[in-house]
Amino acid sequence: MDGIPETEYYQVTGFRAHTHGMQMYDDKPLISALTSDRSAEMRPLGPDSYLELVLGILPSGASYVLMSSEQMLAFTRRYQQRHPRSRPWLAGDFLSLSPIRFDSAAALSRKLATYKQRAGKKSELDTSPANRGYVRAEVGVSRRRGDFEHQRLLNSLLKRIITPEKFGLMRPHWTDAVRVISFGFTTWDKDHRPKSERLKEPKLLDIGWTEVMLPGYLETNMITSETVHLALKSPVKNGEPALFKYGESKLNLDRAELASRLQALFKHDAQKSGVPLVVLVHNETLACAVLTSLGIDITSYASGIEGLLVRGNKQVTAPTQITKSPGSLTFTHRVRPLATDGGLALDRPSALRMLDLLSLSVTIPHVRSPS
């Protein structure tokens, strides 16, 4: 790929798949060919590693298993198949593009089986078990699927186990250092005020955080920079507090002292340091209210990490009209640039990111065969 991000992707089986035009009359020979292919395009970590394809999440929340244009070109040449003639998916069509890995033919077969269309009358919609629930899905549901895949991408980039260009990304400059703060807090659970009041003035009991630098944290047996627990003075006594075993703990602080500690923690200049700051929280809305009440300016933070993953912006040739001629398809083309979707430079304030763990209970798609 020579450092140029991919812009075109081809769907592997399912609703109107590009592989339907190949001389493979069902999924079995396709699955066999894919899983027996030991090339660098299919197994980037070596011939004995897993098969790595691309998982695309559409704005509707629907997902498809894809091959990059480099993979499809190598595959059709190797197996003497006709290159798909229908318009490829473009990188900008998807909320996210991320790795999906298979360690056996059985694992790939099970995944692709979820894209089979419901038997009976043909539909203009995808009726597969994998996607029929997303035809009329709420926007928030699809956005959460994309957010989760962005975090998987971040993890793989920091571990240096993927080529970013394969997933339509520019190679980021920050993979040697990302500051991460996992921030937690406790508020009164019996606070019956209206929600607007609870968010304006949260009744806070205590806060805590763990700070790490990535990828160093992953390379040093999970050694954290610091772990801190701070509790406010409370007029209510509820027995002796449990012993905090994981780092510094201070009790009975006044609000000003607690706020001062937190403000020092969140002092971060992404422009000067070139290091993004990612804050992990549970319940982003309430977390923002707590941080604001303690004097933290959150206006420069953006939700999610999509903006750190800069998409490519090269020109692509895309078909705009297809007309049928005897025995062939004739394409009328026009050249158009792909929009840089969600690309953010590190010197912008939005290199400060906030991730809400409340909405991310999704299964990681590394598909394994039964043991």
Domain residue ranges in the chain: 8-171, 178-307
220 exposure class (CB count in 10 Å sphere: 0-12, 13-18, 19+): exposed
Q: What is the pLDDT of residue 140?
A: 62
* Averaged pLDDT of the chain: 82
CB 282 within 8 Å of CB 207:
no
Contacts of 357-362 with C-beta under 8 Å, sequence gap 24+, read 357/280, 357/281, 357/282, 358/282, 358/283, 358/284, 359/140, 359/144, 359/147, 360/144, 360/147, 360/148, 360/151, 362/144, 362/145, 362/148
Q: What is the pLDDT of residue 219?
A: 82
Out of 208-222, 230-244, 320-334, pick the least confident.
Answer: 320-334
Tell me how far apart the alpha carbons of residues 237 and 304 are, in angstroms, rounded to a whole number. 38
Mean pLDDT, rounded, for 7-23: 90
The domain over range 178-307 is classified in CATH as 3.30.420: yes
Q: What is the pLDDT of residues 68-97, one digit of tens each?
A: 999 999 999 999 998 998 999 999 999 999
Mean pLDDT, rounded, for 247-252: 91
More confident residue, 159 or 366: 159
Q: Is the pTM of this model over 0.95?
A: no
Q: What is the pLDDT of residues 21-59, one digit of tens each?
A: 786 667 899 999 999 999 999 999 999 999 999 999 999
Is residue 100 very low, low, confident or very high in pLDDT (cuts 50, 70, 90)?
Answer: very high
